[in-house]
Amino acid sequence: MMLIMQNRKPNARAAAKDATHERIVAVAARAIRRSGYDGTGVADIMKEAGLTHGAFYAHFTSREAMLAEAAGRACAESAAVVAEVVASVPSEQAFASMLRTYLSREHLEQVEMGCPLAALGSETPRQAPEVRRVTTRHIKEMIDLVARQSPDWGQPGAHERALVTVATMVGTLLLARAVDEPALSDSLCAAALKHLPPA
């Protein structure tokens, strides 16, 4: 009985530590999209997570390690939304639905929950290799997801169209968020939707 009780305590402690770690990563994933990598400080993340600054090092070896995990979380959240959109409609409507959702006003306004590529793309080249590796993996996954919507998936043409589509989607979202004129923002999205290559 004593052994069982002793084993439970470390498991409960480990579970609590894991939950705290997840909370920090979730807060950081929102913060990097909201404020950028350079605008996201450890002290601010820990405060928003309801923790002390000193507790950070019980979870991460460095700020870069936290940023890499936060980028991974942001990418996973973004990929899950796209996958959900694709799965929610008949296959012949998936591509158009994915584009409309990505370039929607709602996605445009949800910076801290939206696509991390549009929010962080210009900062990523100056980040640590582990952050860039996470971003590269997400870009490849996005390209693959778009290519899979094409009737000629597996052919070079489908992959090339997917490259153009992803670059246009992310670039359009970035520019539509950057301008201070809602009409221009809407026009950018509408033009991209009109001219993107069909699946």
Integer Cα distance of 121 and 119 in angstroms: 6
**Per-residue pLDDT tens digits for 67-99:** 999 999 999 999 999 889 989 999 889 999 999
User: Taking the mean position of all CA atoms in its chain, how far away is CA 101?
Assistant: 15
Integer Cα distance of 197 and 199 in angstroms: 6
Integer Cα distance of 196 and 199 in angstroms: 9
Tokens for 93, please give them: 């409507």
**Per-residue pLDDT tens digits for 92-149:** 899 999 999 999 999 999 999 999 999 999 999 999 999 999 999 999 999 999 999 8
Q: The dihedral of CA 139, 144, 150, 154: what is its sign?
A: positive
pTM, rounded to two decimals: 0.85
Place of tokens 């582990």: 130
For the domain bounded by 2-195, which CATH number is listed? Answer: 1.10.357.10
Residue 197: the pLDDT is 74
Tokens for 54, please give them: 């000193």
Residue 6: the pLDDT is 52
Residue 185: the pLDDT is 97
**Per-residue pLDDT tens digits for 7-30:** 556 688 888 888 999 999 999 999
